[in-house]
Structure 1
Amino acid sequence: MLIESLAQKTRLAMITVLATVGGCVLICGFTVWCCISLVNRERDQIYILDGDIPFLAERAQLEANFTMEAKAHIQLFHQYFFNLPPDNDYIKWTLGKAMYMADGTALKQKQAMDENGFYSDIISSSAVCTVMCDSISFDEQERKFIYYGTQLIKRRTRDLKRSLVTTGYVESVPRTRNNPHGLLITNWRTLENKDLDY
């Protein structure tokens, strides 16, 4: 009778200890999960100070802004590549900026234009080239774009308006000072560059 009572008490003590340890593990696990989710939520919030007043700003996901950033990158690249005044140093600077934003296909096109005397013609004739973006068609799945623009070449004797259509792909790369969008234009080529009117 005494041994039976001791066995029951030992079993009851063991069950109590196991239940207590199990409960502690569950409570600790739940606490850790709550802390991790709270920290992750706090990381998505950014506070901006205006003087002494903090404002809460939500950090957006990269995918939500990808199309917008890709279009801005494409437009900026075309501005650097095609907005050219009759200043050799400025042309070199803008083309250098454009080369950070695209792969070797842009360099090949620049070299072809240089060999055809395009840049020297701009400088010698005091021409001013500007490009205006009409629209950008962007396929988010393939990351392919088609840029539609109007190029205006102003010379002393006449003004020339040309249609400009280019295409290529956009690839993600690390962000740098020279490439703030963290994107690279690949397989870039001109589909159309024809005179519209004088």
Structure 2
Amino acid sequence: MLVKNIEQKIKVNKAISIASILFAIFIVIVGFYFAYKLVQDSRKSLYIIDNGVPVLVKQTDELLNRPVEYKSQVELYHRLFFTLAPDDKYIKENVEKSLYLIDDSGKKEYANLREKGFYNQLISSNSMVTTQSDSIKIDLERKKFVYFGKEIINRKSSVLIRKLITEGYFEDIIRSPHNPHGVLLKNWRIIDNSEISSESKYSSF
């Protein structure tokens, strides 16, 4: 009887020891899992400086956000390239910012407009140019975009509205301060820039 009791106690102790070891391993695995998850979540947290104030933002899945960033890049490029004031320095600064977002096709169009005297006409006529984006179509398979909008030329005596339809392609690149979306527009061209309307600012009597 004594021997059987000792054997039974040994078995019980052995079972408790094994259970304790398994439980300890389980705790370690759970600890590692939560630590890994915490590190992953912390990597998704970013601080953006907004007027000198750090603001906490969360990164979302890049694949889900990418189509939105493509559209945003296309809209940003057109806004910079076509928002013009009757000031040569302002024009150069805006165009320079836009050229970080596009390949040589943007520089070629800028040179083309300069040669035609477009910017000089704006300055001499004291005109303002702005754009209005209507829609942007993105073809993810072909990595192609089509931009639909309007170009509004505000002159002293009239407001001229032109259709603005362009197309091009896009490529993923490394993000940088000059190109925060990490998207490079390529082979861009203007398809339609025809006049829609011209309205005089002064009523005729």
Is the contact between residue 44 and residue 59 of structure 1 (CA under 8 Å) also seen in structure 2? no
CA 1:48–1:192: 2 relative to 1, 3 Å? closer
Deviation for aligned residue 1:126: 0.4
The code of the aligned residue for 2:118 comes to F
| Structure 1 CA distance for aligned equivalents of residues 116 and 30 of structure 2 | 65
Matched ranges for 1:127-146 at <5 A? 127-146=127-146
Q: What residue is the counterpart of 2:53 in the other structure?
A: none
| Structure 1 CA distance for aligned equivalents of residues 155 and 187 of structure 2 | 31
1:164-196 deviations in Å (ceiling 9; x for gaps): 000111111111111111111001111111000
Q: Among 31, 41, 46, which residue is 1:45 paired with? A: 41
| Structure 1 CA distance for aligned equivalents of residues 171 and 154 of structure 2 | 34
Match of 1:163, SS state, is: strand
**CA RMSD after TM alignment:** 2.7
Q: What residue is the counterpart of 1:102 in the other structure?
A: 102
Matched ranges for 1:20-169 at <5 A? 35=32, 37-46=33-42, 59-169=59-169
Match of 2:152, SS state, is: strand
Identity of aligned residues (%): 33
Structure 1's consecutive aligned runs of 4 or more residues displaced over 2 angstroms after TM superposition are: 31-35, 37-44, 46-49, 56-59
Is the contact between residue 86 and residue 122 of structure 2 (CA under 8 Å) also seen in structure 1? yes
CA 1:172–1:124: 2 relative to 1, 3 Å? same
The code of the aligned residue for 2:108 comes to K
CA 1:59–1:154: 2 relative to 1, 3 Å? closer
Is the contact between residue 46 and residue 59 of structure 2 (CA under 8 Å) also seen in structure 1? no
| Structure 1 CA distance for aligned equivalents of residues 189 and 58 of structure 2 | 38
| Structure 1 CA distance for aligned equivalents of residues 78 and 146 of structure 2 | 12
| Structure 2 CA distance for aligned equivalents of residues 63 and 34 of structure 1 | 29
CA 1:34–1:114: 2 relative to 1, 3 Å? same
Give the TM-score, by structure 1 length: 0.76
| Structure 2 CA distance for aligned equivalents of residues 171 and 33 of structure 1 | 41
CA 1:138–1:188: 2 relative to 1, 3 Å? same
CA 1:125–1:70: 2 relative to 1, 3 Å? same
Q: Which runs of no fewer than 5 residues in structure 1 stay unpaired?
A: 1-22, 50-55
CA 1:155–1:169: 2 relative to 1, 3 Å? same
Deviation for aligned residue 1:97: 0.1
The code of the aligned residue for 1:150 comes to K
Q: What residue is the counterpart of 1:13 in the other structure?
A: none
Q: Which runs of no fewer than 5 residues in structure 2 stay unpaired?
A: 1-20, 48-55, 199-205
1:4-31 deviations in Å (ceiling 9; x for gaps): xxxxxxxxxxxxxxxxxxx99xx69xx6
| Structure 1 CA distance for aligned equivalents of residues 46 and 133 of structure 2 | 33
